[in-house]
């Protein structure tokens, strides 16, 4: 799986994990590793899964800031 596809797949899984409401996202890294292995046969290291989670959080924070800015200027 190439890097871009890996990132998009991981972000999608993290969105699903968040939307389930069952897991605190700060602890989502092990779940990401497990789902990537079980569903896509992609084995992530602890470091890789933490980095993907960090990138996902930064991206979601960026989106939230942009939505806030748009609503403030609405």
Cα–Cα distance between 74 and 69 in angstroms, integer? 8
Give the pLDDT band (50/70/90) at residue 74. Answer: low
pLDDT for residue 2: 93
Give the pLDDT band (50/70/90) at residue 5. Answer: very high
pLDDT digits (tens, 9 = 90+) for 33-73: 999 999 999 999 999 999 999 999 999 988 878 888 788 88
Q: Judge whether 38 and 30 are in contact, CB under 8 Å.
A: no
């Amino acid at each position: 799986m190439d890097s871009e596809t890996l990132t998009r797949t991981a972000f999608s899984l993290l969105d699903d994990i968040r939307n389930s409401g069952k897991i605190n996202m700060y602890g989502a890294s092990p779940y990401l590793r497990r789902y990537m292995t079980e569903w896509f046969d992609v084995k992530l290291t602890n470091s890789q899964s933490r980095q993907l989670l960090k990138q996902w959080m930064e991206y979601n924070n960026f989106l939230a800031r942009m939505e806030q800015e748009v609503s403030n200027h609405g």
